[in-house]
Structure 1
Amino acid sequence: MIDISVAIMHHPRRADRIPALVRACAPLDPVVVPDPEPDGRPSPLRTAKRAWAAVGRDATHHLVLQDDVRLVPRFAEQLRDAVRGRPRHGVSLFCLWHTPHNSYLVRRAAVAGEGYAPLSPREWTPTQGFVLPARLARELAEYLAGIPDEVQDDDEVIAVFCRERGVPVVATVPHLMDSGHERSLVEGHHNGLRAAVHTPGRPWTAGAGTAELPPGPYAVQLYDSVCSVRPTYGDPVEHQFPWYWYDACPLTGLDPEAVLDAGAPYLSRSPDRLLPTMTAVWAAGYLLGADVGGLAPALAGPGPLTPVALGSWLDQGLSERDARAGGGLRADCLRLADAAVRRGLRDRRRTDVH
C-alpha cells in the first residue's frame, strides 16, 4: 500500500498560490511549511529542512513540493501510480528544460517511450516536486539539519545525499507539474523555469517498460542555436564550455561526416542564412535518436511524447535571433528535428544489427 504525505515549501510572497495548490493535491492533505525567516537571504534549503521533517506518521512515502509549481489534473492518482512503480527510488516530478544532463536524459526517455528517466547522480536533483520513501525522507531531514542555511540550494545537497546512500533517482515522463514560469526568489534562478516534457492533458503512464535508459558518458545540448556534447564524467556540471558536436562526435561512437551526410537531403532545402541553425538542429536530433537506438535496438520508432520533448528543446535552445525570426522557422526546425531523430534511431539500429 502506498500512503504519501505531502509538505509544501512556502514563502509569504506567494500566499495567494497556496489555496489552489492545496486543492490540486486532493485527496492528499498537504502540510504548508512556511519559510522561518521570510525576510532573510533567500534559501530554499532553510525551508526544505522543515519540509522533509514533516513526514506523516503512517506514511510510506513523503513528497515535498515548492509553492511555485502547477500540478497536472488528477495529480494524486498519477503520483501514486508513479511511486508504486518505483517504490524504493527517489522520484522527481519535474525537470527543468535546460539542465545540462538531466533534461537530455528526460528527452531520451521520451523518445524511447518510457515513463521514467533515470537521472544523473552528478547533477543537482530536481526538487520542485520530489518523493522519497518515508525512511529516507526522515534520514534526509537529519542530514539537511547539519547543513548551514547559507549553502542555499537544497537540490545540490539532496543530490549528494542520494549519491552517498546509493538512492537511484528517476523523473516521471511526462512530468506531473510545471513551473510557475516566473522569476525565482533565489537570485540567478529565472528566465525559463519550465519543464522538459510537460503534457497536462495526457496522463502519465509507466510507458513501454522495455528499455529504461541509464545515464551514459555524454549528453547532447542545444543552446543558442548551437549543438554541443557534454561529457558526463570529469567536467563540473555547471561549466559553460561544452564541446562543439562535430569535434566531440567520437564520444558518441559516430562519425560526424556520416551525421552530415545523413542530413544532406534535408539540409539542402535550407536557405544559406539558416544553414548553421538547421545543421545544429539536425545534429542534435540525430545524436539523440542514435543514442536511443543504440540502447534500445528493439524500439520500432520514437515514442508519442517525442514532439513535446523536441519542442521544448527548441524553445530553450534556439538563439533569440532565431526565435524572433518568424516565418515558420520553429515549425521547420521541429519537423527537421523529428526527421533527424527517426533517421538517427534507424541508422544506429541498423549498424548495431550488422
Structure 2
Amino acid sequence: MTAAEIRLSVAIMHHPRRRERIPPLVRDCAPLEARVVTDPDPDGVPSPLRTAKVAWRSIQDGATHHLVLQDDIVLIPGFATQLHRVISSRPGHGISLYSHWDSPQNSYLVRRAAIAGWSFAPLSKSEWTPTQGFVLPVALARELADFLRDIPDEVKDDDEMVVRFCREAGIPVVGTVPHLVDHRFDPTIVGHPGRFHATVFLPSPVLSADYWQFSASAEAALGRRVEPDEKLAYTVQMHRSRCLLRPLRPGTGEPVEHGFGWYWADHCGLVGVAVSDVLDGFENLMETQDLPWRIALEVWAAGYLLGADAVTVRRGGAAGIWPPATVGAVLAEAVMSSWIASGLAEPDADRLDAGDRAALVAVGLAGVAQGWLSGWHTS
C-alpha cells in the first residue's frame, strides 16, 4: 500500500480539563482532519478506557486506517507526512507512535531497535501497548471497539486492554523509531505516578522518504525477543542509578511492572557476557572524566549490554564498527539521554548539572560502542 492510498481517520481522546491543548493539537495534525472525542463522563471516576471506547468507534467514512491520539501529547513537525509513510510500510500492523521512557520492556525494545539501526521495534505482547498515539487498520479498529465495549470503565487503563486484544487477535504491534509523539510533562488524568516522556523523540527529525522501509528479516530478528518460546528473553534497565537485567517470563503470572531486576554484574554471564569484558576499557575512559565512578559504571554497563545485544540484529552486511550507518548520532544520543534521565535516582539526578549529564551520555555511548564491537567479534 502506498502512502497515497492511505486514508486516515483521526480521533483525539479529550478531557475538558485540558481544553487549551486541543486547538494546537488539531492544527498540528493538519492536513489530517482530527475529530475531538470528549470524555462522556468527565466528572466521573477518571477512566481513559471510557473515552477510548468512543474514540475507537469514531471512524470517518472511507478510511483505511484509524488513529487514536490522547490530548496530553505533542507531535513532530510534518506529522501527517511521516505517519502516511509509516502506515504504508506496515499497513496490516498495529503501530504505536510512542513508548514510555522507563517502561520495563517496550522502552528497551525500542532502544535496541534504534541502536541496531531499524526504524520499527516489535513491541511486547504482555506489557501495556502505548496508546498515546496508536493506529490500526479500520477493520481491526472496529473489532477493538467491540472488544472494549463490555469492559467496565472502572478498569481505567485502555493500554492494558489493547495489548490483550492484539495478543489474542494475533495482531503484530510495532513502535516507530524515532517516535512521532511525545508525552507532556504533566500529571495523568488517572494519577499514575512518575514522569512521562518518550523513549526516543527527536523534536525535528530529518527522515528520508525511504526511512520507514520494511524488512522482514529485521522484524523477525527483533521480534524473537518478544515471542513466548524465546529461551533467552530479557531487557536491560536503568533503575535508581543501577543497571539491571530483567528476564522476561511470559505466562508465569508475574506482573510486568514488578520492581525486581537482576544486578548486571551478578547475572550478565547468563546472557553470554563476562564481567571482565564489560569492565574492559572503562578505567581508561574514566581517566578523562570527572564523574561519580559509581554512576558512570552503571551507565557504561547498560550501554555495553545494549550494544552487545543490538549487534545480534544488525543489518546483513553492515560494517563492524558502531554505530551502523543507519543510526544517526542524534538518534543514538536521544536513546541514551532518555535512558539516563529516566533511570537516575533522584538524589543523583539532583546533584548532576547539564555538563555532568552530557558527559554521562558520552560514557553510555562509549559503552554501547564497546559492546557492539565485542559482540561483533564474538557473533
Fold match by TM threshold 0.5: yes
Between 90-99 and 273-282, report the one with greater CA deviation.
273-282
Q: Which of 277, 294, 301 in structure 2 is aligned with 1:276?
A: 294
Specify every segment of 5 or more residues in structure 1 that has no aligned partner in the other structure, as ranges.
Answer: none
Query: What is the 5 A alignment of 1:222-301?
Result: 222-233=238-249, 234=252, 235-267=254-286, 274-296=292-314, 298-300=317-319, 301=322
Between 51-60 and 134-143, report the one with greater CA deviation.
51-60
SS in 1 for 2:85: helix
Number of the residue aligned with 1:339: 366
Q: Which of 315, 322, 325 in structure 1 is aligned with 2:351?
A: 325
SS in 1 for 2:103: coil
Q: Tell me the CA shift for residue 181 of structure 1.
A: 1.2
Q: Tell me the CA shift for residue 203 of structure 1.
A: 3.8
Q: Tell me the CA shift for residue 186 of structure 1.
A: 0.8
Task: Please say if 1:136 is aligned against 2:163.
Answer: no
Alignment-mate amino acid for residue 106 of structure 1: V
Q: Tell me the CA shift for residue 42 of structure 1.
A: 0.4
Q: Distance in 2 between matches of 1:208 and 1:299?
A: 17
Q: Which of 210, 218, 221 in structure 1 is aligned with 2:234?
A: 218
Tell me if the contact between 1:106 and 1:173 (Cα under 8 Å) persists in the aligned partners: yes
Q: Distance in 2 between matches of 1:280 and 1:293?
A: 20
Q: Tell me the CA shift for residue 113 of structure 1.
A: 1.9
CA deviations over 1:12-37 (Å, ceiling 9, x no partner) = 11111111111111111111111011
| CA gap 1:130/1:208 in 2 versus in 1, 3 angstroms | closer
Number of the residue aligned with 1:206: 212
Between 203-212 and 334-343, report the one with greater CA deviation.
203-212
Query: What is the 5 A alignment of 1:91-130?
Result: 91-130=95-134
Q: Tell me the CA shift for residue 267 of structure 1.
A: 4.0
| CA gap 1:207/1:87 in 2 versus in 1, 3 angstroms | closer
Tell me if the contact between 1:182 and 1:191 (Cα under 8 Å) persists in the aligned partners: no
Equivalent pairs: percent with the same residue? 50
Tell me if the contact between 2:75 and 2:180 (Cα under 8 Å) persists in the aligned partners: yes
SS in 1 for 2:223: coil
Tell me if the contact between 1:223 and 1:318 (Cα under 8 Å) persists in the aligned partners: yes
| CA gap 1:34/1:319 in 2 versus in 1, 3 angstroms | same
Tell me if the contact between 1:119 and 1:215 (Cα under 8 Å) persists in the aligned partners: no
Q: How many residue pairs were aligned?
A: 350
Task: Please say if 1:81 is aligned against 2:97.
Answer: no
Q: Distance in 2 between matches of 1:196 and 1:131?
A: 18
Q: Distance in 1 between matches of 2:313 and 2:175?
A: 18
Q: Distance in 2 between matches of 1:309 and 1:154?
A: 26
Tell me if the contact between 1:117 and 1:172 (Cα under 8 Å) persists in the aligned partners: yes
Q: Tell me the CA shift for residue 192 of structure 1.
A: 1.5
Q: Tell me the CA shift for residue 295 of structure 1.
A: 2.3
Q: Which of 179, 186, 192 in structure 1 is aligned with 2:183?
A: 179
Q: Tell me the CA shift for residue 248 of structure 1.
A: 2.2
Alignment-mate amino acid for residue 166 of structure 2: C
Specify every segment of 5 or more residues in structure 2 that has no aligned partner in the other structure, as ranges.
Answer: 226-232
Alignment-mate amino acid for residue 293 of structure 2: L
Q: Tell me the CA shift for residue 74 of structure 1.
A: 1.1
